[in-house]
Amino acid sequence: MILLFYLVFYLFLAGMFVLTMYMLLLTLDDYKPTWQDRLVTPGMMIRPKGDQLEISFSVSETESWDGLVQNLNTFLSPYNDSYQVQTNDNCPPDQYFIQEDSGEVRNNPKRSCQFNRTMLEDCSGMLDRFYGYSSGQPCVLIKLNRVIGMLPGKDAQSPFVSCGAKYEDSDKIGALAYFPPNGSFNLMYYPYYGKKAQVNYTQPLVAVKFLNVSLNTDVNVECKINSNTLSVGSERDKFAGRVSFKLRVNSK
Ligand SMILES: *[C@@H]1O[C@H](CO)[C@@H](O)[C@H](O)[C@H]1NC(C)=O
Ligand SMILES: *[C@@H]1O[C@H](CO)[C@@H](O)[C@H](O)[C@H]1NC(C)=O
Ligand SMILES: *[C@@H]1O[C@H](CO)[C@@H](O)[C@H](O)[C@H]1NC(C)=O
Ligand SMILES: *[C@@H]1O[C@H](CO)[C@@H](O)[C@H](O)[C@H]1NC(C)=O
Ligand SMILES: *[C@@H]1O[C@H](CO)[C@@H](O)[C@H](O)[C@H]1NC(C)=O
């Protein structure tokens, strides 16, 4: 008798557990994280990327930059124009590519906009297959970390990247060139809906080319985002909207 009681009791408990889990799972949305932090300015990252945020090589030693070039080749492979044309749309620029769901009806999968490798011009690896490393004018790619739903600009103004020297290095950094022009992340690549909804999403990039960096010395570089909706972090959050790295180009 007491055995039967426990059997029924435990079955009841197990049943309650399964029911609760089921209800919880029902409320989770596959396509959107349920608990998302409030929108903050995302961090930025560079390519090529090693263990540290440091790019150091000798112009005359091919082996010293060959790995960096390979790293960029691999990273940029999905940006090939031919691949972008197959997978993504040619979107109207300077405006958000909004693809909201209408009520319960999901507007999935969602399309993404083309970011052609050739838009990186001198830093695309197409015109100069060594990205400037063989001539002491290296390219560094910058990306803004993905945040679902982020709107990085208003009034049709795309955010843009600017780089400068930190500490006393301002006389060593030399002239910079940005690609695409103005170093902007066009608004058409936003908002991002998550990798499940937007399967072919291609993250926009900005390339910075160091045209006349001083040789044989460390140069501390900082790049940051300029936007009319995102603010660059203060000392308290020093990774928000910026990235710092050390660049050293040796002549031999
Ligand atoms: C992109 O182009 C490069 C060089 O032309 C090639 O090596 C690479 O395989 C291509 N990648 C894709 C995904 O088509
Ligand atoms: C990307 O390149 C393809 C092929 O050259 C071209 O048809 C397309 O318009 C380009 N897209 C953008 C956004 O520039
Ligand atoms: C993703 O790209 C593939 C080709 O690689 C294409 O067939 C598919 O339609 C694309 N999906 C979306 C949602 O853009
Ligand atoms: C670059 O910025 C200037 C001034 O802010 C603007 O007039 C120009 O249209 C921009 N160019 C591109 C390609 O966005
Ligand atoms: C390159 O930088 C050096 C100083 O490091 C400067 O003397 C020279 O004029 C610069 N060249 C150009 C073309 O700006």
In angstroms, the CA 134 to CA 61 distance is 9
Domain annotation covers residue 15? no
Q: Which string of b and e fits 172-186 if b means at least 16 CB within 10 Å?
A: bbeebbbbbeebbbb
Domain annotation covers residue 2? no
Candidate from 33-37, 169-173, 211-215, 244-248 with smallest mean pLDDT: 33-37
Ligand nearest 80 Cα, by number?
Answer: 1
> Do 142 and 207 contact (CB within 8 A), yes or no?
yes
Ligand 5 touching residue 175 (CB < 6 A): yes
Picking from 121, 140, 126, 129, the residue whose alpha carbon sits closest to that of residue 62 is: 129
For the chain, give percent helix, strand, coil, nearest 5: 30, 20, 50
Highest-scoring range by mean pLDDT, 40-54, 111-125, 237-251: 111-125
Domain annotation covers residue 26? no
Domain annotation covers residue 120? yes
Ligand 1 touching residue 109 (CB < 6 A): no
Compute, in degrees rounded to 10, the torsion defined by CA atoms 216, 218, 219, 222: 150
Ligand 1 pocket test: pick from 71, 80, 127 the residue with the most ligand atoms within 8 Å of its Cβ.
Answer: 80
Reported confidence tier of residue 251, pLDDT bands at 50, 70, 90: very high
% of the chain exceeding 70 in pLDDT: 86
Give the count of domains, the chain: 1
What is the extent of the structural domain holding 52?
39-250
pTM here? 0.85
Residue 29 clears pLDDT 60, i.e. is over it: no
